[in-house]
Structure 1
Amino acid sequence: MFLGSFQCQIPVPHMADLMAPRYQSFQIEKPVSEFFTGTYPWDEKDQDADKEEAHSLDVEDEEIDLRAIGKFEITHILFHEDLPEMKEIRDGKQCQAPTKWGASALQATVSMGRGHYCTRQLTTLVRKFLDDRTFLLVNPYGDWNQSMLIDEDLSLDINLYLQEIGKDVSAKKVKGQYADGHECEDVVYYQDHTFLPQWKVLEARMENWSKENEKEHGPRPDGKTVISWFNDECIFYANDRTLRGWYHKDSPEKPYTKGEGAPLMIGKFVSAKFGWLQSPDGKQSTRIIMKPGKNCDGYMTADDIVDQANCAMDILTEWYPEYEHVSIYDNTPTHLKRPDGLLSARRMPKNIPKEGHNWVVEVTKRDNTGNPVHLPDRTTAKEKIKMGNARFADGTPQALYFPEGHPRTGVFKGMAYILEECGLVKELKLHAECKNFKCAPLAIDCCCHWVLYNQPDFTHIPTILKNTCNTRGFRLIYLPNFHCELNFIEQCWGYAKRIYRLNPPSSKEEVLEKYALAVLDSISLAQMRRFSNRSQKFMDAYVKGLNGRQAAWAARKYKGHRVLPDSLMDDLEKAKIT
């Protein structure tokens, strides 16, 4: 590697030292005896300079010469004032040189493959250093035409350093924002017309913190302070360790355990005010721990979610009654489950079933206490019941099955018959359902299923979870689909998993649980607040009309901001982000 005009070897243990402007040792490639010791035409013009430099050292012996210390050891003089050669100069000891000033400089530059310009620069630098011992070179990084990696010594040092840090550094591309479905019209419509308006009203009464974890002060509307509690679940795997990293090409292959290993699901609530939801003494917690799988604890059900919500409301009512609490869940089927037997157009047939057949709904069978009934193979027992009644526009009940006295008593009427009773005659000609029920965004009358799905009596049915919260005086909001960036607990999971992967590998389930709980408890409240600020930054971006790509760009650019600046649109235009 070339530092200005000097070749050096840098044996240092840390990458930061590799890039430092001062270096620890330098290597002399050839002894002085191998250099050409003759004179050059320009040596005569340097004689006066030689004498002037010698006198400037204030030493007794004027025969001292700096012209050929090592490989014109100016490399040592400039960077290591404590080397023996430098000590001899300071002490006034004789240091004979076989050539004069110009010849010595040229020998040094020729040995490095450089020319006369380098020679002149070298002598200039030496004189500056002799006048001022604090003068040191500044490395012109970025101005070279050759890569620093052509130097074998530097490449070796970097190679060794990368092997030291090993798995802590990876060249794997970091995952970006989830994009599939993010910009669907119906998703954006719900985001802009339902979620964000509700959030902005509540946000005005929330407490906020800066990136330095300092509480922000300012006017707030009257009313209780709002605390938003974000909910989610995360799965840790026993064999989830970092495998991608830097390895030497000749290093032996190290075996590792195949497969993900035993899973452990953990469900929690989190807020920027208090962190994980628990009582002040830590004895009560909303944490759910289960081993998912058919042969383990099964899977998270709507009943589990409701139980967790009730536990959360118990803690909040007992310990934090002075706040207004809002639960925020993502749009998953478990969270959106409706009571069994209530209206749902999803699987209704268009016509009346054939003779001897009927259409009913299959629900979970429950015992007298309301708990699900399980079969010997540990699966949940099912039973079939009739769907509940709908309602006409005036609010009167509309039976979905033929009444007593009808030739098909108790048989499902079919969607066509139900639509006709509602006066929706034109819709009778529609087909039953769009393919896979994937109707066009914001469609109104594309199929019978979609028409019924959007009727007031079908849409205004609260989910089990929302009904549970509303009954106890708590508010619940659902996040838009495919918007994980709005739920800052996702960042808590990511942070915890990164720390979890640093633990020694183990296939034991008790060790898995120990590591998982430890890393979750290690997340500081200040870190959670920074995660919350980042999610709020995305919300503010969507309020300002940005799409997902623009919001992700803004989140990276304006670090530490909770609200994006007024110059946002101009910055987007300059960056050509669309």
Structure 2
Amino acid sequence: MSPSKPLCERTAHRWLVKLGWTRTILRKGVYMDGHERADVVEYREKVFLPKMKEFERRMARYEGPDLKRVEPNLLPGEKELIAEFQDETCCQGNDHKTSAWLQDGQQILQKKGRGRLIHVSDWVEEVNGHLVVRDAGGIIIKQARTIIYPGSNGDPYWDCEQLIKQVKTKAIPIFEEAHPGCQALFIFDQSSARAALPPDALKAFEMNKSNGSKQRHQRDTIIPDNNPCPEFRGKAQKMTTENGEQKGLQQTLEERGFNVSGMRAKCSPVCPWENNNCCMARLLSKQDDFTNQVSMLETIIKKAGHECIFLPKFHCELNPIEMYRYRQVQKKTFEDAKQAAFAALDSCPTDVIRKFVNRSWRFMDAYRIPLSGKAAAWAVRKQKGHRTVSQSAMMHLDAIVNPT
């Protein structure tokens, strides 16, 4: 006897469970979360959140069920600030499924190869959804997105040099064309590639004890205000000798007033975690001019008249582009995979991206309260359509944490 109508998906799932099948996540490994690590929290609370609070005043908001635009409160001479959230993602020609229906004890033997790689670097924003230029009919004519196909016979793998090129030749010019009279706030995740310093950056652990020999030439600097000897603060310091040799650790520190007689140049294999004065390299590396250096990426963006900030580590919830989810589709060739990737990247409506951005702002507001971890996630879920966590959500949370 055949059924009068096809089984719905929910009924099929129930029968699979009754027959001994389990929806199983095919995991690749374990992710160790450092979300509440001391240094991460310090950056979030003391650097990122205060700066974002200052930036937020100059941004338009999209609030309420209809995501109505609320104009920013600009002071005379100020420009509207538009946040541009950047991230990268990878997909492959024959991506594996992440879950499957399996019987007890059953396992799937997956292919070793996942096909050619498709790497995407893109931005999202609240105004247009993506960092694009549209014509009068709303058709995209320019976009900041960059797609490469790295591999042994393909493009080079993504690195800081390519990101900087994308920012200089695509992101900044396209933003200025799409939003004349506005200023961009480019927001990046923290990584070694994005935080790369220029070739002449100050790096104490790459210096020798003595002058000259095989060591990289580093730029001249200004002795910082945290130098313990007041008479040297604010003075210019050349990092090369009169004959053009790179100065070593000993002379550099002595010119700042340090007595390093008998101190070793570097610890081996590494410096003790709790000691800041264990060796010359550690001592010099703690000086502000060595510690607080601006990355190449930030330098280029600020030179163009825009702003740049890096998200706290392990805080993907603060980047709305991370909320994108792509549905797997059947694909037979690499060309099919590319077309599927293009379609998926453009499939998210602008209103949905605005909701993603609002969700990220709600997390920022929750961290300012301050909440952390699961408490922040719970409070954000209770409040939708706005950029802040409501008082009612906080009252609910207080009732749970402190029941009478």
Q: Structure 1 length as normaliser, TM-score?
A: 0.58
What are the equivalent positions in structure 2 for 1:473-552 lying under 5 Å apart? Answer: 473-492=305-324, 495-496=325-326, 499=327, 501=328, 503-506=329-332, 508-552=333-377
The one-letter code sitting in structure 2 at the alignment partner of 1:451 is: L
The 3 A distance-change label for structure 1 pair 214 and 305 is: same
Q: Which has the higher contact order (CA 8 A, sep 6+)?
A: 2
Alignment-derived partner of residue 227 in structure 2:
none
Percent identity between the two aligned chains:
29
Q: Contact 1:210/1:560 (CA < 8 Å) preserved in 2?
A: yes
Tell me the distance in 2 between the aligned counterparts of 1:157 and 1:432. 62
Q: Contact 1:345/1:452 (CA < 8 Å) preserved in 2?
A: yes
Does the alignment pair 1:235 with 2:90? yes
The one-letter code sitting in structure 2 at the alignment partner of 1:348 is: M
The 3 A distance-change label for structure 1 pair 211 and 174 is: farther
Q: Contact 1:206/1:227 (CA < 8 Å) preserved in 2?
A: yes
Q: Give me the CA root mean square deviation.
A: 3.7
Shift of 1:458: 2.2
Alignment-derived partner of residue 125 in structure 1:
none
Alignment-derived partner of residue 114 in structure 1:
none
The 3 A distance-change label for structure 1 pair 574 and 401 is: same
Shift of 1:233: 1.0
More helix by share: 1
Tell me the distance in 1 between the aligned counterparts of 2:322 and 2:97. 19
The one-letter code sitting in structure 2 at the alignment partner of 1:390 is: T
Alignment-derived partner of residue 205 in structure 1:
58
Q: Secondary structure at the match of 2:322?
A: helix
Does the alignment pair 1:307 with 2:146? no
Q: Contact 2:160/2:193 (CA < 8 Å) preserved in 1?
A: yes
More strand by share: 2
What are the equivalent positions in structure 2 for 1:91-170 lying under 5 Å apart? Answer: 158-159=14-15, 170=23
The count of aligned residue pairs is: 382
The 3 A distance-change label for structure 1 pair 434 and 198 is: farther
Q: Secondary structure at the match of 1:209?
A: strand
Match of 1:275 among 117, 124, 129: 129
Q: Contact 1:206/1:226 (CA < 8 Å) preserved in 2?
A: yes
Does the alignment pair 1:471 with 2:303? yes
Tell me the distance in 1 between the aligned counterparts of 2:141 and 2:375. 43
The one-letter code sitting in structure 1 at the alignment partner of 2:124 is: V
Q: Structure 2 length as normaliser, TM-score?
A: 0.81
Unpaired segments ≥5 residues, structure 2: 224-231
The 3 A distance-change label for structure 1 pair 444 and 204 is: farther
Tell me the distance in 1 between the aligned counterparts of 2:277 and 2:294. 23
Shift of 1:188: 1.6
Shift of 1:428: 6.9
The 3 A distance-change label for structure 1 pair 569 and 434 is: farther
Shift of 1:562: 2.6
Shift of 1:527: 1.4
Q: Contact 2:91/2:119 (CA < 8 Å) preserved in 1?
A: yes
The one-letter code sitting in structure 2 at the alignment partner of 1:504 is: Q
Match of 1:358 among 178, 195, 213: 213
Q: Secondary structure at the match of 1:284?
A: strand
Alignment-derived partner of residue 192 in structure 1:
45
1:71-108, Cα deviation, whole Å (9 max, x unpaired): xxxxxxxxxxxxxxxxxxxxxxxxxxxxxxxxxxxxxx
Q: Secondary structure at the match of 2:62?
A: coil
Q: Contact 1:179/1:482 (CA < 8 Å) preserved in 2?
A: no
Tell me the distance in 1 between the aligned counterparts of 2:364 and 2:192. 24
The one-letter code sitting in structure 2 at the alignment partner of 1:417 is: Q
Q: Secondary structure at the match of 1:334?
A: coil
Unpaired segments ≥5 residues, structure 1: 1-9, 19-155, 362-385
Does the alignment pair 1:398 with 2:237? yes
Match of 2:33 among 155, 173, 180: 180
Does the alignment pair 1:553 with 2:378? yes
The one-letter code sitting in structure 2 at the alignment partner of 1:472 is: A
Q: Contact 2:271/2:278 (CA < 8 Å) preserved in 1?
A: no
| Structure with greater Cα Rg | 1
Does the alignment pair 1:417 with 2:251? yes
Match of 1:225 among 80, 91, 113: 80
Q: Secondary structure at the match of 1:283?
A: strand
